[in-house]
Amino acid sequence: MVSTEIVDDALLLIEQNFYFLHAGEFFALWSRREDLSSAVPNRLIKVFEGGFPYTFDGRLIQTVLTHEYATPDDQASLLEYFIEFNAFRGIMMGMIEAVQDGSPFGRYWNQRLGKKRFENLIDIVAFIRNVLSHNTHAEIRLNEKDYSGRRKRIERMGRDLRVRFSLQYYNTLPEINVPSTTYGIDLQVDFGSLKPQTPFLSVVSMGDLMLLSELCFNLSLIYRNQAQTAVLD
């Protein structure tokens, strides 16, 4: 049985990455609106534990910020790319750790979402975690190891390889204040059709990744709130 401490650490990983995804998006937007490169010193020194000083090269920072300022609003930038995909990876990693080995977090959402829907959610999250953990290709193309293990598991369980997860907050998670009664997430990964070198974003879109990250964050918040309420009661 996974310990409460491990679950708490995993949920904190989800929450921190989601907070900094939002903060990072703001910083990326700000660096497009204003040329921040002139504010960068030639050297940026940080003293680490034990008194070890490390010097960051201001020219490298200026290069990134100059590139950001020159990037049109309708084009993706490297800063956005690293902010978004590092956050997505951290959130999916935290989610998988939080449901391992019959954890209380996993049991709670298995019961509340229903076994089939919960398993579909974890299949998709695990697939994304694998892709973003193993990827070294700039365009994020699939490798067989990203999905083969999960595909075999689904087949052994006799489940449909076309894995779909759908949720409307209004019906399922009324604790979360949403902009409309239809707000939610609906995504599908066909594990039977996945092939090496397939572009990852043709399987799961950026919009899907944002909504799924938001959902993982909300699942963590709801679980923490109910756990705290149970202790107080």
Confidence (pLDDT) at 1: 60
**What tokens appear for 178 in the block?**
């949403």
Q: Which residues have C-beta within 8 Å of that of residue 104, sequence separation ≥ 6?
A: 4, 7, 227
Confidence (pLDDT) at 142: 94
**What tokens appear for 4 in the block?**
């409460």
Number of domains the chain is built from: 1
Residue 54, strand partner residues: 46
Structure letter (DSSP) for residue 36: -
In tens, the pLDDT along 141-161 reads 999 999 999 999 999 999 999
DSSP assignment string, 104-150: HHHHHHHHHH-HHHHHHHHHHHHHHHHHHHH---TT-B--GGGTHHH
**What tokens appear for 99 in the block?**
């449901």
What pTM does this model have? 0.92
Confidence (pLDDT) at 73: 82
Confidence (pLDDT) at 157: 93
Structure letter (DSSP) for residue 197: T
**Residue whose C-alpha is closest to residue 36's, from 67, 1, 76:** 67
Confidence (pLDDT) at 74: 84
Tell me which residues of the chain have a pLDDT lower than 70: 1-2, 136, 229-233
Domain carrying residue 51:
4-232
CA angle 102–107–111, rounded 5-degree value: 145
By three-state DSSP, how is residue 206 classified? helix
Residue 57, strand partner residues: 43
Burial of 177 (0-12, 13-18, 19+ CB in 10 A): exposed
